[in-house]
Amino acid sequence: MKTYFTSESVTEGHPDKLCDQVSDAILDELIRQDPDSRVAVECLTTAGMVMVAGEVTTRGWCDVQKIARNVIKDIGYHDGKSGLDFETCAIIESIHEQSPDISQGVTASEKHEQGAGDQGMMFGYACKETPELMPLPIMLAHKLARRLTEVRRAGIIPYLGPDGKSQVTVSYNEKGNPEAVSAVVIAAQHSEKADLETVRADIRREVIAHVIESDLNQVKIHINETGRFVVGGPQADSGLTGRKIIVDTYGGMGRHGGGAFSGKDPSKVDRSGAYMARYVAKNIVAADLADRCEIQISYAIGVAHPVSVRVESFGTSSVSEEKIAKAVMELFDMRPAAIISTLDLKRPIYRQVAVYGHFGRTDLNVPWERVDRISDLQRAVA
Which amino acids are annotated as binding site for Mg(2+), given as ranges? 16
| Cβ neighbours around 46 below 10 Å, total | 18
Q: Note the pLDDT of residue 237.
A: 92
Q: Do 284 and 290 form a contact (C-beta atoms < 8 A)?
A: yes
pLDDT 10s digits, 230-289: 999 999 999 999 999 999 999 999 999 889 999 999 999 999 999 999 999 999 999 999
pLDDT 10s digits, 146-192: 999 999 999 999 999 999 999 999 999 999 999 999 999 999 999 99
Q: How far apart are CA 68 and CA 41, in angstroms?
A: 12
All domains in the chain, ordered by first residue: 3-9+136-232 (3.30.300.10), 120-128+270-381 (3.30.300.10)
Which amino acids are annotated as binding site, given as ranges? 14, 16, 42, 55, 98, 163-165, 228-229, 237, 243-244, 260, 264, 268
166 Cβ neighbours under 8 A, 6+ residues apart? 8, 9, 10, 141, 142, 144, 145, 148, 184, 185, 186, 187
Which amino acids are annotated as binding site for K(+), given as ranges? 42
Give the residue ranges of the chain where pLDDT is below 50: 109-110
Q: How far apart are CA 39 and CA 89, in angstroms?
A: 24
Quick one: DSSP state of residue 80? Answer: G
By the 10 Å C-beta count (0-12 exposed, 13-18 middle, 19+ buried), 343 is classed as buried
By the 10 Å C-beta count (0-12 exposed, 13-18 middle, 19+ buried), 361 is classed as middle
